[in-house]
């Protein structure tokens, strides 16, 4: 009789363990599938569209804008112009078609249709340039301001989509974390009930929980990595709306290689706001952010060519990269920047050199060839920035001798 009772108890415990393990297994499977679904939605639903939209913007900026600029200046043949424009438009249409295939909510369709209309209009505009060439028109009569306005407008339209896609990713991540916590609580509750009913095997249940917890931590780390990729997907600095350091790393290598191929001049400027720490100490970080935006606006107003790139490299440090400009004109541009920033009339009581906010600029300019060391151009600009500060700030120092060993300064100027 006791044996039968013992067997009955063991059978009862076995049934409880089996049911408990089945429930845990089902919940674990649901949890894993839910996590996978959310990860797929978060990663592929936002990162891929952002990449496609960025490719569209890059094609407008790098290919179409640059091609028409070169066409106006007779730097490339009409046949090459037509080929580049047709290829670029095909690439844009392909990326946009791929973007439209992604899941879209009903309330998103209105702006998607608007963006599609604007892209179609922009492509028609650039296609008209091909028709003009085929009709024998002189591309020297092309209005670059019209091209820049068209690209700027389409940049705003597409950039709103990029911003929206990133915001959606953040929203989806927030919902995922809430769902994750709820699922974790349910799984924990079931495990507690199982452990309570089968205290004899608590040690094994504890090991199972530990194993599940480790798996959850691994998935949480993967989620953080996916979220980090999404945060880095944008190439724009959120405060100043200039290009950020990540985009600088991408553009710098590309422009250096292009300048080497064309054996053309290239200029890199490194700029720093004078006594900006004292400005923050005097007026506070909110006013400091406003000052950074004001300085960024000066750059946007001065640099409007498709081949001009302005970056916020970090803090109060900025970088400007442009090509096809010689030493003399680079110096003029540097002087204009200094005057324009000072002309903003931003009060700076903490400055030791002027009552208004000013900048110091280091300029490195050269004609690129295969012997040019990519890093030396940056190093020389940084060295010139240091010399500009030593010379009293609110000015610039410029060199054309891009050499690792020779510190010769070709020209220096200050206010």
What is the residue-level pLDDT of the chain in tens, covering all 415 positions? 545 555 566 666 667 777 776 776 677 667 656 665 665 555 555 567 888 888 888 888 878 888 877 877 878 887 887 788 888 888 888 888 888 887 777 877 888 888 888 888 888 888 887 777 777 776 676 777 777 888 888 888 888 888 888 887 777 777 877 776 777 677 677 766 766 666 666 555 545 545 655 666 787 788 787 666 665 557 899 899 999 999 999 899 999 999 999 999 999 999 999 999 999 999 999 999 999 999 999 999 999 998 899 999 989 999 999 999 999 999 999 999 999 999 999 999 989 999 999 999 999 999 988 888 888 999 999 999 999 999 999 999 999 988 654 444 444 444 4
What pLDDT score was predicted for residue 412? 45
Concerning whether 316 is annotated as a catalytic residue, the answer is yes
User: Distance from CA of residue 408 to its chain's centroid?
Assistant: 36
What pLDDT score was predicted for residue 189? 78
What pLDDT score was predicted for residue 408? 44
Whole-angstrom distance, CA of residue 273 vs CA of residue 288: 11
What pLDDT score was predicted for residue 411? 44
What pLDDT score was predicted for residue 291? 94
Three-state SS at 305: coil
In the structure encoding, which two tokens stand for residue 189, read together? 């509750």
Interstrand relation of 395-399 and 359-367 (parallel, antiparallel or unpaired):
parallel
Three-state SS at 114: helix
- Residue ranges covered by each domain of the chain: 2-231, 245-414
First to last CA, the chain: 106
Question: Is 131 in contact with 142 (CB distance < 8 Å)?
Answer: no
DSSP state of 142: -
Question: Is 130 in contact with 78 (CB distance < 8 Å)?
Answer: no
Distances in whole angstroms, Cα of residue 260 to Cα of each of 14, 66, 73, 304, 331: 75, 17, 19, 23, 22
CATH architecture of 245-414: 2-Layer Sandwich (3.30)
On whether the pTM is more than 0.75, the answer is no
In the structure encoding, which two tokens stand for residue 310, read together? 């302005």
Residue of 316, 317, 324, 390 marked active site: 316
Whole-angstrom distance, CA of residue 90 vs CA of residue 340: 41
């Amino acid at each position: 009789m006791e044996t039968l009772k013992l067997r009955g108890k063991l059978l009862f415990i076995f049934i409880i363990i089996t049911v408990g393990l089945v429930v845990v297994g089902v919940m674990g499977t649901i949890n894993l599938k839910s996590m996978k679904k959310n990860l797929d939605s978060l990663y592929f639903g936002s990162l891929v569209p952002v990449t496609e939209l960025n490719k569209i913007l890059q094609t407008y900026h790098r290919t179409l804008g640059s091609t028409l600029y070169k066409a106006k200046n007779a730097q490339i043949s009409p046949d090459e112009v037509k080929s580049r424009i047709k290829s670029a438009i095909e690439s844009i249409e392909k990326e946009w078609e791929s973007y439209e295939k992604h899941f879209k909510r009903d309330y998103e369709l209105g702006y998607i249709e608007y963006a599609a209309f604007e892209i179609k209009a922009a492509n028609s505009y650039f296609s008209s340039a091909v028709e003009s060439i085929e009709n024998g028109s002189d591309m020297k009569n092309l209005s670059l301001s019209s091209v820049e306005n068209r690209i700027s407008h389409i940049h705003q339209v597409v950039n709103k989509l990029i911003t929206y896609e990133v915001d959606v990713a953040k929203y989806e991540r927030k919902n995922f974390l809430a769902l994750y916590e709820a699922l974790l609580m349910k799984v924990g509750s079931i495990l507690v009930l199982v452990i309570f009913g089968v205290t004899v095997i608590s040690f094994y249940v504890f090991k199972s929980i530990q194993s599940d917890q480790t798996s959850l931590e691994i998935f949480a780390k993967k989620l953080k990595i996916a979220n980090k990729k999404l945060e880095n997907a944008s190439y724009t600095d959120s405060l100043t709306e200039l290009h950020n350091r990540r985009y600088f790393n991408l553009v710098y290598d590309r422009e250096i290689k292009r300048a080497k191929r064309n054996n053309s001049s290239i200029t890199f400027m490194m700029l720093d706001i004078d006594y900006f720490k004292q400005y923050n100490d005097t007026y506070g970080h909110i006013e400091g952010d406003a000052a950074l935006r004001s300085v960024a606006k000066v750059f946007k107003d001065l640099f409007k060519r498709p081949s001009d790139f302005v970056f916020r490299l970090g803090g109060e440090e900025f970088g400007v990269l442009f090509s096809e400009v010689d030493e003399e004109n680079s110096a003029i541009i540097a002087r204009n920047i200094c005057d324009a920033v000072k002309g903003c009339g931003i009060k700076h009581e903490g400055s030791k050199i002027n009552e208004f906010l000013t900048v110091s600029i280091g300029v490195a300019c050269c004609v690129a060839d295969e012997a040019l060391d990519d890093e030396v151009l940056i190093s020389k600009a940084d060295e010139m920035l240091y010399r500009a500060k030593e010379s009293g700030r609110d000015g610039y120092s410029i060199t054309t001798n891009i050499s690792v060993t020779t510190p010769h300064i070709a020209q220096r100027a200050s206010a």
